[in-house]
Amino acid sequence: MTLDRAWLLATARAEREALGRTIQYTPPDRWDAPSAAAGWRNRDVIGHLAAQEVAAAASVAEEPLTELEEFRKSLEGARFSLDAFNEWTVQRRAGEPFRSVVTEWGRAADLFLARAAKVAPEEWTARRVAWVVGEIGVSYLIQSRVVEWWLHGEDIRASADLEPRLEHPPIHSVNDLAIRMIPYALALAGLSFPRASVRVELSAAGGGSWHHGLAPHDVPPRGKEPDAVIEGRAYAFALVAGRRIPAEYYLADGTLLIGGDIELGETVLQHLRAFPA
């Protein structure tokens, strides 16, 4: 079940503004410092987001993803890699003035949000649009932008010695998307657990309750007991889903707990992700 349309659109607008404030509050000398993404400076993170927002705005309007098409042509038949595409877009912006990169991101994000707001309620759960990893539901694309803005915002804040943003809507968006992507994340590792399910109970900002199947299209029947239960703080779960902190760290200190089938719960957490491969 997708997130409520009005709630998600409001969350996306608020998160775009929050990332803008993070950029504003970051000391200028930190932009050339190494970021949480290996090999990228903090300013490169904004370059990555700028490219993503340009593509997202085009996608919602069903316009060509021109930068993606240009990259594919440059491959000359070689296999496409999302990591390689991201690196390519970052390097294209690496020598530009930082203000230009930030302006590109902000304008593209605003255009994306304006176009996203025009998605009709009757299209919310059914419409699919082109994206860098293939077709994606339009509501999932909007949610994925919230996820990227919050996660990369936390990357920048950590580098700039700013306090974490413990706000419910973006953290809940990260956790919700990660939980719905569990079958996909497991499949990337060649794993599938038909008819098995996990219940996730998260507290504090970003918290909520989910009961999800562990194989594609599996929906736990009413009254089914989960095979594994994961409980703990929503912020920690989001950092695990964002691949920022290993699950073992929070399991060791008790911030995250597993009940039921312990091995199955650990497998879910180890493969958890809030973004495509």
Kindly report the CATH number assigned to the domain that includes residue 122. 1.20.120.450
Spell out a b/e string for 200-209, using b for 16 or more CB atoms within 10 Å of the CB, else e.
Answer: bbbeebbbee
Which of 34-38, 65-69, 84-88, 94-98 shows the lowest mean pLDDT across its residues? 34-38
Is residue 268 over pLDDT 80? yes
Confidence class of residue 147 from pLDDT cuts 50, 70 and 90? very high
- Does 248 reside within a domain? yes
Q: Mean of the pLDDT values across residues 122-145?
A: 95
Residue 37's pLDDT is 81
Q: Mean of the pLDDT values across residues 77-88?
A: 94
Domain that holds residue 190: 176-271
* Total of domains in the chain: 2
Residue 276's pLDDT is 84
Q: Mean of the pLDDT values across residues 261-274?
A: 98
Residue 79's pLDDT is 93
* Three-state SS at 43: helix
- Does 52 reside within a domain? yes
Residue 133's pLDDT is 87
Give the global pTM.
0.96
Q: For position 242, which CATH number holds?
A: 3.30.1050.10
Give the number of other Cβ atoms within 10 Å of residue 9's Cβ.
18
Confidence class of residue 174 from pLDDT cuts 50, 70 and 90? very high
